[in-house]
Amino acid sequence: MDIIEEKIEQAIGILRELDADVWMLFVRETAEIADPSFAMVAPAHVVWQSAIIFSRNGERIAIAGRLDAEIFRRSGLYGEVHFYDQSIVPELRQVMARLDPRQIAINYSPSNHTADGLSHGMYLTLCEALRGTPYVDRLVSAEEIVSRLRGRKSPGEVQRVRQAIRATEEEFIAVTPLLRRGRTEKDIADFMHTRLARTDLQPAWDARSCPIVNAGPCADSGHAGPLTSKTIEHGQVVHLDFGVRKDGYCADLQRLWYVRRPGERRAPGNVQRAFDVVCKAIEAGVKALRPGVPGWQVDAVARRTIVEAGYPEYPHAFAHQLGRAAHDGGTILGPRWERYGNTPLGLIEVGNIFTPELSVQTEAGMVGLEENVLVTEHGCEFLSNPQTEIWYA
């Protein structure tokens, strides 16, 4: 079954589960400013103001400008397609009057960016369009609907994420021979981009920092891009944070290599110890990762493991979700810091895909790993082949 059809059926099921009457997307110019939910439930971009409406009774309604309406009609995904020339307001008010919903869930959320696709200007436009009707006071946040819908990967979605992970793992193998003394961080990134350009794969996030390459000690690791001024040296680690997007779905993995000094057989003790602690913390976190548990509790397990081993806390969440985006929104396995809003309080669900990740600093550079796991009824399945030993270039 087509993934859009899978997601629409899921959406209607979630409306029933939450006893929510109507979920509405209200969008325009989606190629330039896209509601992250739009591509989940719509077949192609639209230009004019459009409303996509799903009801708990299974209705699927699209209202679009004349030049966009054919996109919806041809898709066969919607039971009703309305079009307009000069203003969406009359059609929108008629559809609302007929459905007469108790609440209309719309896409805004302070915490979950993938549930926050309604712009403030479009929110004002919607309020104006419904002014004088009872419906303007029935607008509520669709945060919970979108978080569940996006978080529970359908069979087709899991399959696509698996493919992206396999493809990413192949790229790690391909780049390994290059990780030698004298290469710059930028050399590594350029090599990986050149390979991608020959395939149907895209970087899973901003190409300027995908891969993130950390060669040796790094004060400012994070989301910044690779440097031409940093060169791989003997006795250092090389750390990559990378993923590809394939058929619209992403992988997001970190891998670690050690570059041996002449005559050296293995990484020195401090690097090996850091690596072992990172593995142990990921393992402990993944063990705690089960349906029904709030996200922050899983983070706390991994965080405690690191701190008890004598390393400082990592300055981020233990895991985010993965899917259409590398940062797929919804429940996060992270600390209850203000910047995460309510996402660490969410409950883990079957079908969620998470990215357990953390790192510690050593004199040889940053030692970090990231895996991709699927939540199942009884725990977790690793979708990536977890790295359990330091790799050597």
Binding site for a second copy (CB under 8 A): 28-29, 31-36, 44-49, 65-71, 73-74, 84-89, 108-125, 128, 141, 205-206, 208-209, 220-225, 315-316, 325-327, 329, 337-339, 341
Q: Are strands 212-215 and 236-242 parallel, antiparallel or unpaired?
A: antiparallel
Nearer Cβ to a second copy (124/174): 124
Alpha-carbon separation of residue 341 from 113, 238, 320 (angstroms): 11, 33, 14
Smallest separation, CB 200 to a second copy (Å): 9
Smallest separation, CB 169 to a second copy (Å): 22
Question: Cβ distance 61 to 24 under 8 Å?
Answer: no
Smallest separation, CB 56 to a second copy (Å): 23
Nearer Cβ to a second copy (19/220): 220
For residue 277, the SS3 value is: helix
Nearer Cβ to a second copy (199/385): 199
Question: What tokens appear for 241 in the block?
Answer: 């944070």
Smallest separation, CB 209 to a second copy (Å): 6
Nearer Cβ to a second copy (107/305): 107
Smallest separation, CB 86 to a second copy (Å): 4
Nearer Cβ to a second copy (80/206): 206
Nearer Cβ to a second copy (111/384): 111
Question: Cβ distance 63 to 47 under 8 Å?
Answer: no
Rounded to whole angstroms, the Cα distance separating 380 from 128 reads 47
3-state secondary structure 154-223: CHHHHHHHHHHHHHHHHHHHHHHHHCCCCCEHHHHHHHHHHHHHCCCCEECCCHHHCCEEEECCCCCCCC
Smallest separation, CB 128 to a second copy (Å): 7
Question: Cβ distance 285 to 333 under 8 Å?
Answer: yes
Strand partners, 361: 366
Smallest separation, CB 262 to a second copy (Å): 33
Peptide linkage before 36 cis (omega within 30 of 0): no
Nearer Cβ to a second copy (17/206): 206
Question: What tokens appear for 379 in the block?
Answer: 């725990």
Rounded to whole angstroms, the Cα distance separating 217 from 270 reads 14
Smallest separation, CB 341 to a second copy (Å): 8
Strand partners, 369: 358
For residue 15, the SS3 value is: helix
Nearer Cβ to a second copy (258/354): 354
